[in-house]
Structure formats: structure tokens, C-alpha cells
Structure 1
Amino acid sequence: MNYLSVENISKSFGERVLFTGISFGINKDQKIAFIAKNGTGKTSLLNIITGKDEPDTGQVISRNGIYTGFLSQEPDLDTGLTVEETIFASENKVLRVIRRYEEALQHPEDTEGYQKAFEQMELHQAWDFETRYKQILSRLKLDDLSQKVSSLSGGQKKRLALATVLLNEPDLLILDEPTNHLDLEMIEWLEAYFARENITLFMVTHDRYFLERVCNEIIELEDGKLYSYKGNYSYYLEKKESRITAEKASVEKARNLYVKELDWMRRQPKARTSKSKSRIDDFYVIREKAHQRRKEHNIQLEINMERLGSKIVELHNVGKSYGEKRILDKFQYVFKKGERVGIIGRNGTGKSTFLNLLTGAVTPDAGKIVIGETVKFGYYTQAGIEIKPGQKVIDIIRAYGDYIPLARGRQISAAQLLERFLFDRKKQYDFVEKLSGGELKRLYLCTVLIRNPNFLILDEPTNDLDIVTLNVLEEFLLDFPGCLIVVSHDRYFMDKIVDHLFVFRGDGEVEDFPGNYSDYRAYEDSTPPAEETIAAEGEQKQKASWRKDVNKGLSYHEQKEYGRLEREIRRLEEEKAGIEKLFAEGSLEGEQIDELSIKLEQVIAGIEEKTDRWLELSYKE
């Protein structure tokens, strides 16, 4: 059953053409993701589909009687209402059923009217509506039902809008970046909800795990053309690669034929037969095909990283609280070269406060934070660029100089650098306030990397970035030689980038988990729900492995020891290499040689001892 048809629509803003001749349909039970690069009109398309905007050409046809719900990136809520009042003020069909039932109760003499109202209550399962909406609000961390919308944060407003649209139970639900402002626990709950509920979806999202687990079709807009893939994200990647390979082969074949036909054209006399005219017409078709070019202008990331010394960042017994709320409690950690840490935890457990403590924006209540002299932070915050009226894109970069230093002594102009971040010469002179959300994030990323940091801190870097840019950013970060801290709800991104996690549990508890997010999720899922039950039963059940390569025969404490040994062995190996380098330089005095020789023996002994224990745990059955 067709719910909605998009027929040959186009949209432009002045000289800027977003798309032309777009056509597709949405059928019952489809869960479709729409993918396109930033600035190509994803949000504009959603606004047209939902009737918030009009296409320049074409039309959108909806099936009669279909109720459509829309979650926009910036929800439009009545700030004078409370959280609970917002739910009851929505166009909810169950609420209408409840109101009719309450009215029927006021007129007991109308037995027929009461019977109809009662049957509708049964049909829509309206008896437990209050329980349902309270459960969803609780899942989305909106427990204070009396809180005014005006006092909610941007993320809380997005979650309230999501709760409202879910409770309205639309036949077709259209979502614009639904996972933004949700923590990992909420995202996984939402995935399970969509898998369980019989609902038709059309969404724009960059969350690749969400695409993988929720969507059964992907529509991609590329170079003005639509491509449809009847599968999830993995299927899309596979089939897109096959399509590109086939297109390249077709173009190459056309080029070879073009050379042959061009020679024929040059040898043709002026007088032409009808047969030759037909071949001439074919020639122009072949020429157009042969001159096709894929617009594969990918963002180019490159920095001239400052040298990082041996002392990086040390946290000694750091404590931080806001009133009764503890963020850190005697937290200790010493960062090492090349460390890549992911930070996860529920909203409000102190992840952003921790980053602000590291960068000096917030001071600790107790303990101390020591920053090495060579450390140069690059801090990508959720706040992004502060937009000034009348400021152009190129002005943002020229504030750092007309020429920007790159690696190996090279330099590049501000305009050339912007081109590497996919801002062409015309776009560089656009006003910053005209940029899309994704383009703003891309420009902000440019301003962070332009300072050549050696310690990158990225707070939700994936929000609003398209999938193409995300892939390039991931490849850049994999090769980044400095230290890296990432706070992100993008599980795909975290799995690819980080080596271990700081898990913020709340109330000052921070756990160092040796693995990526998928490892952590597997571990958490394998943990029995209540430790008290284990103690009562008198059974010491083993937890699942911390890492995929650790044998399942290890106990909980042995798994922690295994992860700790890996880090200690790596640190000792680096220390050993440093001492051997000093010996190789030949500039040591007699006493220094003796001291370092003893130190080297101790380090080698430590490596051997810890490696033996590591091997013992590795082969434990």
C-alpha cells in the first residue's frame, strides 16, 4: 500500500539548485533512510514532504486518511506548557478517544454512545495510555512532568518532541536526525522500539548503526540523481561499490568507442546519407557518456602537529561536584602518547565537565591536573562556531592568517584550505548564517585543525556531518599520531576510533574499560542484572570477555588484569625504547650509564614478568 508519492519535484534558492526531478514512493512497513551530502537539501526535502515548504516544480501526493508525524531537528514547542501538558496538547488520536469516553460517562442515559466510546477505548488500548506516556518520558529522561518547556535544554526539547510524536502513533513517521541529543542507552531503546512497533519510517540520519539495525531501504541522492538500495547499511555499501565499478567500466568503454567514432567523424565528407546522420547522432551520445566525471571531491584533512613531549596530561586525585551532584571523586589517570579514549555515559553524568576540566575552562574542587609544556589542545565543542552577522566563510579562516602552515614545511592559502573542506570559491563568500548545519560543523572542524593540535578533544563531532565526511574524518583520526578523546553517541564512529573507554557511571564513578563500545555492550549484556541475586544464590558466575580476543574462561578480575597488563607492557616497551635510544646517542656520562643500565634491567625484567602473566591469562581455559 502506497502512503506517499514524490513526483518530479525540484527546489532552488536563488542560483543554488538543491535538486531537480526527484521522484520516489513510500509504502506501508518500509523503513527508509535518505542519504545525501551536507548542503544538498535533505532538510528541504523533508519540509516539502511534510508540507512545511513547497517545491518549485512537481508535487507530493499523500494517501487519504494517512496520519503523518514529523520530528524536525529544531522542534516547535509551546514554551508556556509543562512536559505533561505538551503531551496532552498534541493531536493524539488516543487522547481524542479518551475525551469521548469521559464525555460519555457524563451522559449515562446514552447507552449507545457509551458503548461506542467503550469499544474505541478497547480498540486503541487507551486504558493504559498514562502508563505508556510516562514510560516513554522516563526512557527519554524526562521524569519531571511539571517542568516548563521554557526551562528545558535544546536536547530535552528534542526528546520531548520525540516522545510526543511516538505517542501519537502515526501511520508514517518522518524523522530528521532522530538520534541527535540522545545518549547511547536512549538510542538503543529507540532502535528496539522501531523494531517492535508496526510503523512506517522515512528518516535522515548519519547514525550508521541505526541505519544498519532499523532501515530496510536506503535512498541516496548523489550528483542530482536518486539511487535506491533495498537493504540495510551494509547492503548499501556493497551495492554502491558495485554500481560505481560498473559505471567506471561503462565510461571507459564509451571512451574507447569515442576515440574510434571521433576518427570516423573527422574523415566524413560534407554530404551525408541518412545512415551516416544516424551514426552522427549516436556519436554525440557516446561523447557525452565518455566525458562523464564522478564528482568525488572528498574533504582533505591535514595538520602540522606540534611535537608531543613525554609529559602529557596527569590527573591526581581530582574531585569535582556541583552542590550534591558529584562528577569526579579522587580520579587519577596519566595519559600516554597516542592514547585514544572514548567517553560514554548517560546525559548529566559529567562528560562535558570532564573535558572542561582538562582544558582549564573549569577548575577542580580537589586534586590537581598537570598539563605538559608541549601539549596543544584542539577542542571541538558542541557549541560550534559563534556566528557574527555579516561574516563570510573566508573571514573565519583568514582570522588565523592568509596562509596556513601544513606538514613538512608547506603552506596553503585560506581559500585553498577551504576548498579542501569542500567550500568552493563561490561558497567561500557566502554569509556564515546561510550555511546548513552540516556545513557549519565542517567549517568548525577546519578552525579546530588549523591550530595544529597534538591533543584532540572531540565532543559529539558526528552531529550533522554527512556520512561521506564522517568516513574521511575517521580515516584522518586513525592516522592522527597525537592523543585523542572522543565523546560521541555514534557507536560506529567510536568502535572504529577508540582503544578504551571512560565509562561515567554517575555519582563520581568513572570506570576505565579496555575495549571499544561494542566490546563494552557485549560485556554489559552478559552481566547479570543484580549482583545481590548472585550472592544470594551463592554462585560466582563469570562475566563475558572485556575484549573479543580474550578467552571466555577468565573471571571478572582476571579480565580487568588482562587489560591492565596490556597497557603496562606497552608503557614499559616505550620506556625501554627510550633508554636504548639514549645509549645509542653516545652522550651519557659514566654515572648516567650505570644508572640507566640498572633501570634498563629492571624494565626488561618487568616486561618479561608481565608478559608471562599476560600469556598465562591468554591461554587460560
Structure 2
Amino acid sequence: MAHLLGADRVTLTLGTRTLLDGVSLGVDDGMRVGVVGPNGAGKSTLLRVLSGLQDPDDGRVTRAGSVRVAVLDQRDDLPAGCTVLESVHGGADTHEWAVDARVRSVHTGLLSDLDLAADVATLSGGQRRRVALAALLVRDDEVLVLDEPTNHLDVEGVAWLAAHLSARYSRNGGALVVVTHDRWFLDAVCTRTWEVHDGQVDQYDGGYAAYVLARAERAQQAATVETKRQNLLRKELAWLRRGAPARTSKPQFRLDAAAALIADEPPPRDNLELTRMATARLGKDVLDVEGVTLSFPAHDGGPDRVLLDDVTWRLGPGDRIGLVGVNGAGKTSLLRLLTGRLEPTSGRVKRGKTVQVAELRQDVEDLDELADLRVVEVVEREKRSVVVGGKELTASQLVERLGFTRDRARTPVRDLSGGERRRLQLLRLLVGEPNVLLLDEPTNDLDTDTLAALEDLLDGWPGTLIVVSHDRYLLERVCDRQMALLGDGALRDLPGGVEQYLALRAAALAAGPAAASPGSPAPVAQQDVPTQVDAVQAPSAADVRAARKEIARVERRLSRISAQEAELHARMVEQATDHVAVGALDEQLRTLAAEKDELEMVWLEASEIAG
């Protein structure tokens, strides 16, 4: 493969921190590289150095011939006074770009809901992000460098971008280097992964899943080496502690070797831990949305904009719901209704007596009023100590577990990075011991290690959980069900998960732009799309009783099937040399498996009614 771009022994220090220390790497034609690493490790700095926007202190950046590099920074510097069309295409006439199928695809994927004649200064942050991304994708640069391109994109936009980049940057199609925390996107797009840490860049083949596996294998190998080193260290220290009379005769090289072992103790790489604290007891009644309608006056004086239209939704103890939807459909507004920060136009939200709700908001502005406090002081204001696993931890110990070193724990909130502020938000929520968690785009500004720690925490979360996110990896990892707001005022169940949501959106787009925009009725699902469930209606008491009886019957039968399967497997082992007998037993297992699948579907349907 042709070499396009590279770094040769690049070193860069900012202040007292060395972000890149003798880094050498290369970008070849056809490579799609995902860059991961802790917040502040130097991922964005690496992109700026590679693209020529920042000079290294030492080493050099190589570029083949006249290779062109396009960069999407985290800041979208679109000049005010320019229209969307001018920002994307400059002064080119429509016929010059409209004949290109790839450019038309970019318009459809990123700009379909925007007024191309609108001034970019009037757009929201997410809309400006899409315009800046579209301006790069319509060009023909050999290397595309993207810093957090999925920020402000919804699930649908992320899926489109992944498909577009995978098709475009294949062999002999240029190269892609992207920093992102979206693990699904990394797996869908990237063929290599670079991990930036401690001034170094480790390179792995494959996307996120392959990177995690390879990193685990390297960690296991390092642990084996460290175990051997510790065993040798113990022997050397024991030798050094022998009686005083013998010390004067100890060879100097043995003393030097022991000192080297002690001095070579490596610092831990993964010192981040999200601690599961106590959770307040949650009663049978949690949150009931009863006949709620939510509308807002239109800016142009037209009819009111209806976000929720007579929606009934009952949340029980232990429910784990992922909420997706088009931008502007009302996902954040629904969370505000559940917390009581927003009152419905009609209907009511009923909260159980024992409910303690904690909400992680999209922005970190709730920390602005605490800007002069230090990190540990913010936590102490919530609770000076908590009991975890039978052990009492102070506020300083808690913040250290969340990845704040002792120095960073004494840092004022105003000086924290976006990722650190996000972690501090999480910690404030957890020390309050809530039993209902509402997370609004929790992946914003969090690196992949922090996300993994968050998911590990949520795996064992005993309360009720609602997650609004465009991160498919997170939704499928921690939620049992997905629901959608498609912009027509209804709340829909998604038995088919995110894939069903994307199919519904594709059907809406096929029906025309009006049907796909918030506030328009969603189209009837096509035959290959699972039928969507309109706003969930409360079942009658008789239906609930019948469903519970059906669940009990199915569970009894499933238990008997499991016992029968175990017996058949044991018999197959005993008669392993009798192929005829094994074949007959295998046929019985297949019959049981088919019955089991049917019963599980019945159980799922009944559980939807029983709640």
C-alpha cells in the first residue's frame, strides 16, 4: 500500500506534560484508523501534528508528494454571513456539484433537514457540526482527519456516516484517521486502532472489539512478567534483610540489582473505577406517565408544536430503557417531565413515594456555579463519606477511584477538561444514592475506558434506568429494551432495537422529507419492518393477572425442558459410539430447542403486559 502520511520520532511537550514522546507511525492508502485513549492523553494533539496544524518539538512529519489532508476539528469555525450552501460548496454553481452522486449522498445524509439558504450563524451547535462535516466530505482529499465527528449526530446520522466512510476509504481510496469515543462506530469503520497513552502510541489491528481483546492479551502478558518480577523482588529483599554481620560482604552487583527491581515498579495503567454505592430502596410504584401531552408555541405563530400526544408509559422497578429518536423529537423534554423540571400541557406524571431520581444532563453547566470549588470539595458538599463494600471511603478516596489523581483532586472545577467535568457529574449523582437514574447522552466527553467503567457499574445497577443516547454500543450493552420518539407525538416500543428504529426512519425518509421531520406522522411500517407499538396503553387488571399466570406456566415448562436437555446430553455422552442413538437424541434436543424458542417468545409477550 502506498504511504501517504507519517510521523518519525515525533516529540511534543505542552507545559510540563510530554504528550508525544518519540512517536513513529504511518498512514497508508486504504487505512481507516481509530484513535482512542484517556481524556487529555494527546489524541487531538496527535491529529494536529499529523495534519500539519501544529509543529512538533522534535522529529518530523512526512507527507507523500502532494497529498492533501482535510481536518475536522472539535471546534466548528464557520464564518457568520455565509449560507449553508456557501459553507459546503463555496461559490460553486449547483450544476457543478449536483451531478456527483457522492455529493448528493452527503446532502441526503447530513443536510436534508436544513435550509441551504440559512445563515450558518443561526444554526444550532449540532447543525453547524453537520455543515462542517459535509464541507469536508464533498471534497477529494486523500487523507481525512476527523476529531469526534459523531458529536451531535443522532443514531441515524452515525449509521449513515459509518457506511459512507467505510465505502469511500477502502483500498486505493485514500485514508481516514478518526478520534471518537463511539465504540460501535469504531467497529463499523476502522481497520486499525491507535491507543494514545503516556506519550506513546500503541498500534492494534482491527476495530474496537479487536483492540480490547489485544489489549487484554497484552495486559495478561504484562501481568505474567510482573508476577515473575515480584517473585524475584521478594527473594532479593529477603536476601538483603539477612543478618547485619553478613551485609558487609554482600556483592555490590546484588545490591544494585535489588535497587533496580524496586525502582522499576511500573505505575498502573488502569486506575479508573466507578464504585457502586448504596441505592435507596425502590418500591413497587416508580414513574407513571398518564395521558401526557406536551406542546410548545411555534416561533412563527403557527399551530403549537406537539412533542408528546396523549402518551401513557409505566416504568417499574428494575426497568432498563434505552430511548432513541430524531433530534428535536422531545427525548430531553421527556426526561425533564420525569424529574419534575417540566410540567405537561395535560395529563400527569405520578412518582412513587420512595423514588429518588438522579439526572445526568447533556451539558455540564450545572457545575458552573461550583467553578471556584476544588473537585474534592464538590463531592464533600454532597457527602463527606460513603460506605462501599462494608468499608467507609472519604470524598478524597472516592474521587481518586474515579481517575482524579491527588493533584487533580485539588484542581478548581473551572480548570477541569470536559471529560473530567463529566466524571465529576457522575460522582455527584452516585453519592446521592438514587434509585432511578436518567442519563441524557452520558457518553459525551467520556473516553472509552471511562465508558467501560460506567457500563460495568450500570450492569449491576439495581434501580430503574433510562438512557438517552446515540451510542448504540452503550444502549445494547446496558438496556433491556429500546423505545423511540419519531417526532409524531407517540412513544414507540422497539422489539427489534436500534435496527428497527433505523428501518422506521428509512421508511419515513422514503415517504418524503415532510414525513421524516419532527411533528409529522410516521409512515406505516413496511412488511420487512417489525410493526411498531404506539403509545403504550395500560393493560387491564384482568390482562395483567392472565399474563402473570402465563408467565408462571411458561417458566415451569422451561424449567422442565432444561432438565430434559441435561438428561439428553448425559445420555449422548454415554452412547457416544452409537451413531444411531446419538442421532435420535439429537433430534429430541432439536424439538426441545424449537419449543423453548416459542415459549420464550410467549414469555416476552406476557411480560410486556405484566410489567
User: What TM-score bracket applies, with the shorter chain setting the length?
Assistant: 0.7 to 0.9
Larger CA deviation: 285-294 vs 79-88: 285-294
**1:266-285 matches, cutoff 5 A:** 283=257
Could you say what secondary structure the match of 2:176 adopts? strand
Change (3 A) 1:253 1:466: same
2:372 matched to 1:399?
A: no
The Cα of 1:42 is off from its aligned counterpart by: 1.6
Match of 1:585 in 2: none
The match for 2:133 is: 162
After superposition, give the CA deviation of every residue in 1:237-258 in whole Å (9 maximum; x if it has no partner): 2221221112222233334455
The answer on whether the counterparts of 1:316 and 1:331 sit within 8 Å (CA) in structure 2 is yes
1:2-41 correspondence runs (5 A)? 2-41=3-42
Q: Is residue 309 of structure 1 aligned with residue 283 of structure 2?
A: yes
Aligned residues: 533
What whole-Å deviation, never above 9, does each CA across 1:214-268 have from its counterpart, x for those lacking one? 1111111234433211222222222212211122222333344555667889989
Residues 35-50 of structure 1: pairs in structure 2 closer than 5 A: 35-50=36-51
Q: Find the partner of 1:335 among 307, 315, 318.
A: 315
> Deviation of residue 608 (structure 1)?
5.4
CA contact under 8 A between 2:358 and 2:434: conserved in structure 1? yes
Partner of 1:150: 121
Segment drifting more, 407-416 vs 431-440: 407-416
Alignment correspondent of 1:226: 201
Name whichever of 131-140 and 372-381 sits farther off: 131-140
User: Structure 1 225/280 Cα, relative in aligned 2: closer, same or farther at 3 Å?
Assistant: farther
C-alpha displacement of 1:212? 0.9
**Map of 1:420-499 to 2, 5 A cutoff?**
420-499=401-480
Alignment partner, residue 294 of structure 1: 268
Match of 2:107 among 137, 147, 159: 137
CA distance, structure 2, for counterparts of residue 168 and residue 57 of structure 1: 32
Q: Aligned in 2, Cα 1:70/1:570: closer, same or farther, shift over 3 Å?
A: farther
Residue 29 of structure 2 aligns with an amino acid whose one-letter code is K
Quick check: 1:257–1:286 contact (8 Å CA) kept in 2? no
**What TM-score does the superposition give when structure 2 sets the normalisation length?**
0.77
Q: For residues 567 and 34 of structure 1, what CA distance do their matches in structure 2 show?
A: 52
Amino acid in the other structure paired with 1:394: V
Residue 287 of structure 1 aligns with an amino acid whose one-letter code is L
Q: Which residue of 2 aligns with 1:362?
A: 342
- Deviation sequence 1:502-521 (CA, Å, 0-9, x none): 21121212211235435766
Alignment partner of 2:203: what SS?
A: strand
Shift of 1:607: 4.8
Aligned twin of 1:581: none
Structure-2 residue corresponding to 1:128: 98
Distance 2:105 2:526 in 1: 32
Distance in 2, Cα, partners of 1:569 & 1:50: 66
Q: How does 1:465-544 map to 2 (within 5 A)?
A: 465-514=446-495, 516-517=497-498, 543=528
* Alpha-carbon distance between aligned partners in 2 of 1:126 and 1:372, rounded to the nearest angstrom: 61
Please say if 1:418 is aligned against 2:399: yes
Query: Kindly tell me: are residues 85 and 131 of structure 1, through their superposed partners in 2, closer, same or farther at Cα, counting changes over 3 Å?
Result: farther
For residue 176 of structure 1, the aligned residue among 125, 138, 147 is 147
The whole-number CA distance in structure 1 between the counterparts of 2:137 and 2:201 is 29
Residue 478 to residue 467, structure 1, CA distance change in 2 (3 Å): same
What amino acid is the match of 2:401?
R
User: Could you report, residue by residue, the CA deviation over 1:571-603 in whole angstroms, capped at 9, with x for unpaired residues?
Assistant: 76xxxxxxxxxxxxxxxxxxxxxxxxxxxxx88
Task: Judge conservation of contact 2:233–2:258 (CA < 8 Å) in 1.
Answer: no
Is the partner of 1:10 in helix, strand or coil?
strand
Report matched runs for 1:93-132 at 5 Å.
126=96, 128=98
CA distance in 2, matches of 1:169, 1:508: 41
1:342-361 aligned within 5 A: 342-361=322-341
Pick from 197, 205, 213: which aligns with 2:180? 205
Q: Is the 8 A contact 1:251 1:289 kept in 2?
A: no
**Following the alignment from structure 2 to structure 1, what is the Cα–Cα distance between the partners of residues 363 and 340?**
17
Q: Counterpart of 1:374 in structure 2: which amino acid?
A: T
Change (3 A) 1:440 1:55: farther
Deviation at 1:204, TM superposition (A): 1.0
- Tell me, which stretches of 5 or more residues in structure 2 are unaligned? 299-303, 512-524, 559-594, 603-611
- Aligned residue for 1:140, secondary structure, equals helix
**SS at the partner of 2:210?**
helix
Contact 2:76 2:132 in 1 (8 A): yes
Residue 9 of structure 1 aligns to a residue in which SS?
strand
Task: Output one character per residue of 1:149-199: Cα deviation in whole Å (capped at 9) or x when no partner.
Answer: 111111111111110111123211111111111111111111110111123
The residue correspondences of 1:547-586 to structure 2 (distance < 5 A) are none
Deviation per residue, 1:424-468 (Å, 9 max, x gap): 121122232332221121112112222221110001101221111
8 Å Cα contact 1:499/1:516 also seen in 2: no
CA distance in 2, matches of 1:618, 1:524: 29
Judged with a 3 Å threshold, the aligned counterparts in structure 2 of structure 1 residues 29 and 268 are, in CA distance, closer, same or farther, namely: farther
> Given the two structures, how large is their TM-score scaled by the length of structure 1?
0.76
Q: Relative to 1, partners in 2 of residues 1:417 and 1:263: Cα closer, same or farther, differing over 3 Å?
A: closer
Tell me if structure 1 keeps the 8 A contact 2:42–2:197: no
Match in the other structure for 1:55: 56
Cα distance in 2, alignment partners of residues 177 and 191 from structure 1 = 13
Partner of 2:70: 69
Residue 37 of structure 1: how far off its partner (Å) = 0.9
Output aligned runs, 1:605-616, within 5 Å.
Answer: 605=549, 607=551
Q: Per-residue displacement from partner, 1:522-569 (whole Å, max 9, x unpaired)?
A: 898999978xxxxxxxxx99657x6xxxxxxxxx69xx79x9999999
Q: CA RMSD in A?
A: 4.0
Shift of 1:209: 1.3
In structure 2, distance between residues paired with 1:481 and 1:374 = 14
DSSP 3-state at the match of 1:52: coil
Q: For residues 156 and 486 of structure 2, what CA distance do their matches in structure 1 show?
A: 12
Amino acid at match of 1:15: T
Of residues 185, 202, 206, the one that matches 2:156 is 185
Any conservation in 2 of the 1:495–1:518 contact (CA below 8 Å)?
no
Change (3 A) 1:63 1:337: same
In 2: Cα distance, 1:49 partner to 1:41 partner: 12
Q: How far 1:360 sits from its partner (Å)?
A: 1.9
Measure the CA separation in 2 of the matches of 1:271 and 1:256. Answer: 20
- Structure 2 CA distance for partners of 1:353 and 1:22, relative to 1, 3 Å: same
- Are the equivalent residues in 1 in contact too, given 2:144–2:177 (CA < 8 A)? yes
Could you say which residue in structure 1 is the equivalent of 2:219?
A: 244
**Residue pair 1:569, 1:607 contacting (<8 A) in 2 also:** no
Distance 1:566 1:220 in 2: 51
Quick one: distance in 1 between partners of 2:238 and 2:341? 70
Encode CA deviations 1:331-389: one digit per residue, 9 max, x unaligned.
01111100011111111111111111212222211211111222111111111244355
- The change in CA–CA distance for 1:290 and 1:423 in structure 2 (over 3 A counts) is closer
Aligned to 1:584: none
- Check conservation: 1:206, 1:467, Cα contact below 8 A: yes
* Stretch moving more, 432-441 or 350-359: 432-441
Q: Secondary structure at the match of 2:81?
A: coil
Q: Distance in 2 between matches of 1:160 and 1:418?
A: 38
Gaps of 5+ in 1: 100-124, 531-539, 547-555, 573-601
| Contact 2:18/2:199, CA 8 A, preserved across alignment | no
Structure of higher CA gyration radius = 1
